[in-house]
Amino acid sequence: MAYEVCNVIVIQSDAGLSAAEAHGMATGMLCVNEHIESVQWLGELLHDVAAVTDKDKALLVRLFEDTRRLLASEEFEFDLFLPDEEVSLSEQVEALKNWCRGFLFGAGAGSVVSNWPDEAREILKDITEFTRLDTEVEGEEDENALMEITEYLRSAVLLLRAELSNNNGDSVSQQRQ
């Protein structure tokens, strides 16, 4: 699924977000509640869901469901939905920051973080720090740092999802009742 196509849909919907932020939100929501429906995500994502064409809505739902499938995969296939490497490094970093903001919103929308296991809260602290990354970047060193952060986030999200799934019988599920 092309990042730019989804980004245009999200921007044109007047959501005030990017595709990276939308994907982060979906990922956060799915980490907290793997059974959440795409309609709830769309409701959070779009101010006026009716203003989005059925074709565009179907594409967004596909992004959400693909994210659900990849998070649940035993093959470690999940990845952050970010722009291609053809865009400037500054734009890539900005998209990563937006992804992190979306993730924090999505994860926080469905639960009380203070009840999470310590390791899960540490991951959220790290993700919060990544929202403060400097976008004035250039060169191979910054490219490598971005790649390392992206890989860390990929692993951290899967670990967080596993942590919350293991706790699903107690604090996380009780917060939804």
Query: Looking at residue 98, which CATH number applies to its domain?
Result: 1.20.120.740
DSSP 8-state class, residue 50: G
The predicted structure's pLDDT at residue 114: 66
Is the CB of residue 27 less than 8 Å from the CB of residue 103? yes
The predicted structure's pLDDT at residue 45: 87
Range of the domain at 11: 3-176
The answer for residues whose C-beta is within 8 angstroms of residue 4's C-beta and 6 or more apart is 83, 84
The answer for residues whose C-beta is within 8 angstroms of residue 102's C-beta and 6 or more apart is 17, 20, 21, 22, 23, 24, 25, 26, 27, 28
Q: How far apart are CA 107 and CA 101, in angstroms?
A: 10
Is the CB of residue 51 less than 8 Å from the CB of residue 82? no
The predicted structure's pLDDT at residue 112: 62
The predicted structure's pLDDT at residue 48: 67
pLDDT tens figures, 111-122: 666 678 888 889
Is the CB of residue 26 less than 8 Å from the CB of residue 106? yes
Cα angle for residues 61, 73, 49 (degrees, 5° grid): 10
Alpha carbon 134 to its chain's center: 20
The answer for residues whose C-beta is within 8 angstroms of residue 147's C-beta and 6 or more apart is none
Q: In which residue ranges of the chain is pLDDT below 70?
A: 1, 48-50, 110-114, 166-177
Number of domains in the chain: 1
DSSP 70-125: HHH-TT---------TTS-HHHHHHHHHHHHHHHHHHHHHTS-GGGS-HHHHHHHH
The predicted structure's pLDDT at residue 50: 63
DSSP 8-state class, residue 148: H
